Amino acid sequence: MKCLIYQFLYLINFDRLVDFVLQARTRVRLIRYKKNGVSIGYVSQGGHELMVAGDLSKFEIHPTSQLKSDTFIEASGGVKIGRHFHVGRGLTIFSSSHDFRNSKKIPYDEVVILQPVEIGDFVWCGANVTILPGVVVGEGAIVGAAAVLTKDVPPLAIVGGNPANIIGERDRALFEKYKRENAFN
């Protein structure tokens, strides 16, 4: 019995150690990003992984915006995130792709196509959203969980699905009222 208690205590401490190491690794990565000129305002401390790959100088996020754990951003083509952006866990953004249409090899060749991604102010994305190269998400849009954005999202649109489609629209008058009154998170 004593042996089981010690094993249980060891596992608890081991899990805490793993969490501490993973969170420390994320903090170190954020410091490295900032030293390389990446503008990062706030990253929640609840998770373990945040990765920005590619050309870090082409990644920009407003200080009032946030990212959550399990985020992967490929920034080679440029990624710009506006003010007061909120997102659930598991965001994935790609700003480059391969040329498979005119390639000289299969499934694709060495040509990389760079297409910037832009996310407007006051955008809210659910968990596990994927945004593909060249997509512009308009101001005030809401993106449902697990949506895959393959084309631009108009301002104030509510989208969901794979591929994402417009399923509704925010109340424009109410949105503008709150914006004028600075009533936002």
Output phi, psi for 22, to 5 deg.
-65, -40
What is the distance between the alpha carbons of residues 49 and 162, in angstroms, rounded to a whole number? 24
Task: Please give the structure tokens belonging to residue 63.
Answer: 């200080």
Alpha helices in 97-136 (DSSP H): none
> Would you say 150 and 163 are in contact if contact means Cβ atoms under 8 Å apart?
yes
Residue 169 CA, chain-centre distance (Å), reads 22
Peptide bond into 107 cis (omega under 30): yes
Q: Which amino acid is residue 138, in one-letter code? A: G
Catalytically annotated residue among 62, 84, 86, 98: 98
Annotation says 98 is catalytic: yes
84: left (phi over 0), alpha (psi -120 to 50) or beta: left
Which residues on adjacent β-strands are paired with residue 169?
157
Instruction: Report DSSP letters for 35-61, one per residue.
Output: HTT-B--EE-SS-S-EEEES-GGGEEE
Q: Which residues are catalytic?
A: 98
